[in-house]
Amino acid sequence: MSAKLTAKNVYKVFGSSPETALDLVEQGKTKDEIFESTGQTVGVHDASFEVDEGQIFVVMGLSGSGKSTLVRMLNGLIPPTSGSIMVDDTDVASCSGEDLRKVRRDKISMVFQHFALFPHRTVGENAAYGLKVKGVGASERREKAQNALDQVGLGAYADSYPDELSGGMQQRVGLARGLCAESEILLMDEPFSALDPLIRRDMQDELLQLQRSLKKTIIFITHDLNEALILGDKIAIMKDGRFVQVGTAQEIVGEPADDYVAAFTQDIDRSRVFKVKTIANEPRSLTLQDSLADAVERMEKLERDALFITEGDKIAGVLSYREAAPALRNGETTIDPVLNRDYAAVQGEAYLHEIYEAASAGMPIAVMDGDAFVGVVRPSEVFAQLVRGEEAAAEAGDRMTAA
């Protein structure tokens, strides 16, 4: 995969003489100290990152941490103080106004926190705005806008005005406007923050669904770590203008870089972050041809109370110690008669919360990759992973209060 957007050492200082502020930054002064002594605000402090094509890159941070500033530099709405921002092979940070407009028209579109729909235009005209600016003809515009509105489920509202729609619907129009411009990169600055929690969940799911078919490169801003974890292929945690950690959801939650990040991850539902494959063990299965005695011996050695039995490259079923041991004592020699042909199987890409029910049955769960049997998860391991988070977070919390 290739990088669609690359930011290198990007700084933004709000103030009259950014050079002096940058000097202070070099000397290791903090954002607050620099504001005290110069009255200038360091909005973004040395941000470097790459976003691959088709990836969702989430920037998460509290309000005032510089997220909006960062995302507005990516399409040049705010010019960076220093650094480079390559979109394909245009440096947005230093190109001419004309080139910048070209990038905005063809490569990057944006979705705004408070929707920023044009109240004097219909929903359809709003969606088509990017095309209008490009000079696309009216009939083509209408057709493509209709298409984009269909994609977000608002096909019937093209002739309504934005103020006739609910908040969630308005943001869908905002999204349609971004999609309709047919740019490869979508910048989304807290697009769902102004929506009710339930609608927010719907919109997140819908965005993921759209992304599956559209494969846009998305830079998504949020102040909600849960949202970041749900959406992000890669997540950057921002504090006082800096990135304190960049990684996948599992890296952020599994190995928080510092106490600041750890404090965030404290309340996170780990079962929605970790995938089944992260806790799966190698399958240690026997085949249906093996003897019952071998199977019981294997279980005793591995201290397992159940084993998967395969037949060819398929799973035949699961053998439990509780049934196998008495059968062996009663003189049974083959596995077949005591085999449980009902067993739980789950895809490795599934999240832990999806296997709670299966795990509560107490039997091991087969982990599949498509049709292939690739691993085994024991119920106890599911809960161990969830508990580990509680402990780590509690420790981090202690350190934070001690510090």
Partner 1 sequence: MWSPSDIYEMPFGDWVDFAVKDWLVPNFRPVFQSIRIPVEWVLDGLDGFLNFVPMVVFTVVLVAIAWRAAGRGLAIFSIVSLIFLDLIGVWSETMTTLAMVTTAVFFCALFGVPLGVMAARSDRFLKVLRPVLDVMQTIPPFVYLVPIVMLFGVGTVPGVIATFIFALPPITRLTNLGIRSVREDLVEASYAFGSTPRQVLWEVQIPLAMRTIMAGLNQTLMMSLSMAVIAALIGAGGLGLTVNTGLGRLDVGLATEGGIGIVILAIILDRITQSFAERRSSTSPSLTGILRSLFSSGKPARPAADKQAA
Q: Which is nearer to partner 1, 29 or 142 (CB)?
A: 142
Q: What is the DSSP letter of 275?
A: B
The whole-angstrom separation of Cα 161 and Cα 171 is 13
DSSP string, 28-71: T--HHHHHHHHS-EEEEEEEEEEEETT-EEEEEE-TTSSHHHHH
* Cβ contact 68:91 at 8 Å: no
Q: Please list every residue from 26 through 85 that binds partner 1, using CB under 8 A.
A: 75, 77
The count of C-alpha atoms lying within 13 angstroms of the C-alpha of 294, restricted to the half-sphere facing its C-beta, is 11
* Cβ contact 334:292 at 8 Å: yes
Q: Does 64 contact ligand ADP by CB under 6 A?
A: yes
Q: Count of residues binding Mg ion (CB under 5 A)?
A: 1
Q: Does 61 contact ligand ADP by CB under 6 A?
A: yes
Q: What does 217 bind: partner 1, Mg ion, ligand ADP, none (CB cut-off 5 to 8 Å by kind)?
A: none
Residue 68 Cβ, how far from Mg ion at the closest point, in Å?
Answer: 3
In three-state form (DSSP H/G/I as H, E/B as E, the rest C), the secondary structure along 322-378 is: HHHHHHHHCCCCECHHHCECCCEEEECCCEHHHHHHHHHCCCCEEEEECCEEEEEEC
Q: Which is nearer to Mg ion, 62 or 361 (CB)?
A: 62
Q: Which is nearer to ligand ADP, 252 or 366 (CB)?
A: 252
Identify the CA nearest to 365 among candidates 324, 312, 306: 306
Q: Does 45 contact ligand ADP by CB under 6 A?
A: no
Q: Please list every residue from 170 through 229 that binds partner 1, using CB under 8 A.
A: 177, 181, 187
Choice from 4, 45, 67, 216 touching ligand ADP (CB under 6 A):
67
Q: What does 242 bind: ligand ADP, partner 1, Mg ion, none (CB cut-off 5 to 8 Å by kind)?
A: none
Identify the CA nearest to 275 among candidates 229, 333, 309: 229
The whole-angstrom separation of Cα 194 and Cα 199 is 10
Q: List the x/- string, 114-133, binding to partner 1 by CB under 8 A.
A: x-x-xxx--------xx-xx
Q: List the x/- string, 57-86, binding to Mg ion by CB under 5 A.
A: -----------x------------------
Find the part of the chain contacting partner 1 (CB under 8 A) among 96-104, 138-146, 236-244, 257-265. 96-104
Q: Does 112 contact partner 1 by CB under 8 A?
A: yes
Q: Does 134 contact partner 1 by CB under 8 A?
A: yes
Q: Which is nearer to Mg ion, 7 or 154 (CB)?
A: 7
Cα torsion for 273, 275, 281, 282, to the nearest 10°?
-150
Q: Does 242 contact ligand ADP by CB under 6 A?
A: no
Identify the CA nearest to 348 among candidates 265, 282, 284, 263: 282
Q: Does 222 contact ligand ADP by CB under 6 A?
A: no
Which residues would be at the binding site for Mg ion (CB under 5 A)?
68
Which residues would be at the binding site for partner 1 (CB under 8 A)?
75, 77, 101-106, 109-110, 112, 114, 116, 118-120, 129-130, 132-134, 153-154, 156-157, 159-161, 163-166, 169, 177, 181, 187
